[in-house]
C-alpha cells in the first residue's frame, strides 16, 4: 500500500499544545499535493476562537489561545507564523467544474497542516485558509479578507448547530495586513478550518485528467478507508464509493433545503466526498420563500439558485462518475451503465430524504402517500404570499390557527392528517420543534456582525454566535435578547447580494 491511515494514532501521546498530527494524505501519490509552508504575517491577533471545538480536538484550549485575549502562541500558530508540532504543510491539488466549465485549480490560498487525531480517535484535517500563496495560486495573493473568513466562521458554526454536516471553524486571526480586492483595501485574516477531509469531486477530476489510473485507484481506496470504511469490502470499490457519495449528498441537499440554505457556488471543487458542507463564500439563508432565490453576485443566470441545488448535486455526482469511469469497469459500456445507475437513483434518494425531513417539520411520525402533496401545497402558499420560510415553519400552529382562504383549507388537511397518526398533539409538537429552527443566521445580522468585526468590535459577532448556538430552543427564542434575531430585514432583504471573497 502506498498510504496508511494509522488506526492506532489515538494511543500516541499528544505533543505540546495537545497536537497529535498525522499525515496519511501526504503519503498518497505526489500528483495530489505539493509541500509548501504558510507565509508569515505582520501582527497576528485572534479575533474568533472556538474553545469548544478546540477541546473536542484534544487541543490545549487555554494554552493555545491567548485566543480569548488576542495574542500569544495561538495567534502565531493560527496565522501560520509558527507551525504546530508535527506539522507537514502542503497544498492539495484538484480541478473543478466552475459554473459548468472545467478548470484546473488546487489550494491557491489554503495550506493543510495535517490530520489531528482527537481523544476519541477521530481524524480531522486542520487547514489554514488565507495563509499565503502556493504553486496553485494562479497569480493570486493567497490571502483572505477578515470579512470573508468571519462569514465562514459564523455560518459554518451555525450549520453545525443546525445539525447539518459541515466543516468547522477553529479560529480567525487578523493579520495586521491589508488585502486588496475589487472594492479596495480590506483587513486580512487567516481562518483555521477543520474538516473530515478536503477530498472533493474535483480531486478525482484532477487525477482523471492526468490519466493516472494508479493514482486514481489509490485515491479511491484511501477515500473509502477514510470516509466509507463500511464499504471497504465491496467487490467493486469505485462503485461502492460512488454510491456512498451519492447517498450522502442526497441527504445533505435535503438538509440544506429544509433550512433554506443557499450555498451559492456549488462547483465540483466545492463538493466534499465526506458529505460535509464546504466553502462558505457567497452563501446565505433564504428568507421569503422563492425557489429562484439567488444571492451570489456572480451567479447571474441562477445556476445555483435555492431550488436548483438538488439537480446541481446530481450533476456534480455525474462528473465524479466520469472521473471514475476507467476504474468502474474494464469495459467502457459497462462502466457507463454502472455510473448511470447511480446517477439515476440520486433524485429518488434526495426525494426520500427531503420528504422525511418535511414530515418531521409537520410533526408526522408515519407515512401516507399524499404527504408530498401536503408539503407542496404549503410551499405554494408560502411562495404566493412571500412568507418567511423559517418563521412559517417555526410558528405554523399559531400562524394557521383561525386562518381563512388557502391557508385555512390547508390547515384543515394538516389537522386531519395529524389525527390519523397514533401520536398526540404534544408529541407532534415536540417533533416539529426539534426540526424547525427558531433562529437562523439572518443575512442582515451577519452583515452587521462582519462590519463591526472589521472595525475591531467582535462583541456583535459573539452575541450572534451565542444566539445561533441553540437554534431549536423555541422557549429561549421568545426572550427579548433572542427574539430580535428572528425577524427578516426591514426591507425584506430585497436585492441582498453576497461575494466570494477571493
Q: Where are the domains of the chain?
A: 9-198, 202-282+298-348, 360-433, 443-483
Is residue 14 predicted with pLDDT exceeding 90? no
pTM equals: 0.95
Q: How confident is the model at residue 63 (pLDDT cuts 50, 70, 90)?
A: confident
Q: Sort strands 110-117 and 123-129 into parallel, antiparallel or unpaired.
A: antiparallel
* Residue percentage of the chain with pLDDT more than 70: 95
* Higher per-residue confidence, 371 vs 491: 371
Which region among 94-103, 266-275, 400-409 has the lowest average model confidence (pLDDT)? Answer: 400-409
Q: What is the mean pLDDT of residues 202-227?
A: 98
Which region among 31-45, 237-251, 475-489 has the lowest average model confidence (pLDDT)? Answer: 475-489
Contact 226/197 with Cβ under 8 angstroms? yes
Give residue 207's region: left, alpha or beta (phi > 0; psi -120 to 50): alpha
Distance of CA 277 to the CA centre of its chain: 2
Q: What is the mean pLDDT of residues 349-377?
A: 98
Contact 224/231 with Cβ under 8 angstroms? yes
- pLDDT (0 to 100) of residue 71: 63
Task: Round to whole Å and give the CA distance between 22 and 116.
Answer: 6
Torsional sign, CA 108, 110, 111, 114: negative
Is residue 469 predicted with pLDDT exceeding 80? yes
- pLDDT (0 to 100) of residue 419: 96
Contact 432/363 with Cβ under 8 angstroms? yes
* Higher per-residue confidence, 112 vs 502: 112
Is residue 462 predicted with pLDDT exceeding 60? yes
Is residue 159 predicted with pLDDT exceeding 60? yes
Q: What is the mean pLDDT of residues 76-101?
A: 96
pLDDT digits (tens, 9 = 90+) for 377-425: 999 999 999 999 999 999 999 987 888 899 999 999 999 999 999 999 9
Query: Average per-residue pLDDT in the chain?
Result: 93
- pLDDT (0 to 100) of residue 404: 87
Q: What is the mean pLDDT of residues 212-240?
A: 98
Is residue 3 predicted with pLDDT exceeding 50? no
The catalytic residues are: 269
Q: What is the mean pLDDT of residues 149-175?
A: 97
Is residue 153 predicted with pLDDT exceeding 80? yes
Q: What is the mean pLDDT of residues 282-298?
A: 95
Q: How confident is the model at residue 1 (pLDDT cuts 50, 70, 90)?
A: very low
Is residue 254 predicted with pLDDT exceeding 70? yes
Task: Round to whole Å and give the CA distance between 178 and 181.
Answer: 10
Contact 349/421 with Cβ under 8 angstroms? no
* Higher per-residue confidence, 8 vs 388: 388
Is residue 67 predicted with pLDDT exceeding 50? no
Amino acid at each position: 500500500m502506498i498510504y496508511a491511515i494509522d488506526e492506532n494514532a489515538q494511543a500516541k501521546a499528544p505533543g505540546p499544545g495537545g497536537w497529535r498530527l498525522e499525515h496519511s494524505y501526504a503519503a498518497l501519490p505526489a500528483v495530489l499535493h505539493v509541500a509548501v509552508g504558510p507565509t508569515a504575517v505582520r501582527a497576528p491577533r485572534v479575533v474568533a476562537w472556538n474553545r469548544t471545538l478546540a477541546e473536542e480536538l484534544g487541543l490545549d484550549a487555554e494554552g493555545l489561545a491567548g485566543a480569548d485575549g488576542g495574542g500569544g502562541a495561538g495567534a502565531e500558530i493560527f496565522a501560520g507564523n509558527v507551525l504546530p508540532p508535527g506539522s507537514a504543510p502542503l497544498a492539495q491539488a484538484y480541478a473543478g467544474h466552475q459554473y459548468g466549465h472545467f478548470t484546473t485549480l488546487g489550494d491557491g490560498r489554503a495550506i493543510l497542516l495535517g490530520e489531528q487525531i482527537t481523544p476519541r480517535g477521530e481524524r480531522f484535517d486542520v487547514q489554514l485558509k488565507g495563509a499565503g500563496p502556493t504553486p496553485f495560486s494562479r497569480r493570486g495573493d493567497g490571502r483572505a479578507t477578515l470579512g470573508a473568513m468571519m462569514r465562514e466562521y459564523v455560518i459554518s458554526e451555525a450549520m453545525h448547530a443546525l445539525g447539518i454536516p459541515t466543516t468547522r471553524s477553529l479560529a480567525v486571526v487578523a493579520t495586521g495586513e491589508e488585502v486588496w480586492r475589487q472594492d479596495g483595501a480590506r483587513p486580512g485574516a487567516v481562518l483555521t478550518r477543520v474538516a473530515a477531509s478536503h477530498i472533493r469531486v474535483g480531486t478525482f477530476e484532477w487525477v482523471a485528467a492526468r490519466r493516472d489510473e494508479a493514482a486514481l485507484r489509490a485515491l479511491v481506496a484511501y477515500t473509502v478507508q477514510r470516509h466509507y470504511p463500511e464499504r471497504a469490502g465491496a467487490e467493486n470499490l469505485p462503485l461502492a464509493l460512488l454510491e456512498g457519495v451519492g447517498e450522502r449528498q442526497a441527504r445533505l441537499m435535503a438538509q440544506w433545503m429544509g433550512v433554506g440554505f443557499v450555498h451559492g457556488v456549488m462547483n465540483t471543487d466545492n463538493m466534499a466526498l465526506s458529505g460535509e458542507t464546504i466553502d462558505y463564500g457567497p452563501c446565505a439563508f433564504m428568507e421569503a420563500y422563492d425557489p429562484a432565490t439567488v444571492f451570489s453576485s456572480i451567479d447571474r443566470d441562477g445556476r445555483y439558485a435555492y431550488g436548483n441545488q438538488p439537480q446541481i448535486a446530481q450533476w456534480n455526482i455525474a462528473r465524479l462518475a466520469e472521473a471514475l469511469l476507467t476504474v468502474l469497469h474494464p469495459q467502457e459500456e459497462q462502466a457507463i451503465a454502472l455510473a448511470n445507475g447511480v446517477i439515476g437513483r440520486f433524485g429518488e434518494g434526495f426525494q426520500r430524504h427531503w420528504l422525511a425531513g418535511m414530515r418531521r417539520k409537520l410533526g408526522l411520525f408515519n407515512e401516507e402517500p399524499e404527504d408530498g402533496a401536503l408539503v407542496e401545497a404549503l410551499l405554494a402558499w408560502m411562495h404566493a404570499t412571500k412568507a418567511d420560510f423559517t418563521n412559517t415553519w417555526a410558528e405554523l400552529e399559531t400562524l394557521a390557527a383561525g386562518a381563512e382562504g388557502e391557508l385555512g383549507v390547508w390547515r384543515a388537511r394538516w389537522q386531519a392528517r395529524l389525527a390519523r397518526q397514533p401520536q398526540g398533539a404534544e408529541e407532534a409538537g415536540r417533533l416539529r420543534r426539534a426540526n424547525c429552527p427558531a433562529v437562523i443566521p439572518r443575512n442582515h445580522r451577519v452583515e452587521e456582525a462582519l462590519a463591526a468585526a472589521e472595525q475591531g468590535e467582535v462583541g456583535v459577532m459573539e452575541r450572534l454566535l451565542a444566539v445561533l448556538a441553540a437554534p431549536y430552543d423555541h422557549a429561549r427564542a421568545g426572550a427579548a435578547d433572542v427574539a430580535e434575531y428572528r425577524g427578516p430585514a426591514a426591507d425584506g432583504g430585497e436585492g441582498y447580494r453576497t461575494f466570494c471573497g477571493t
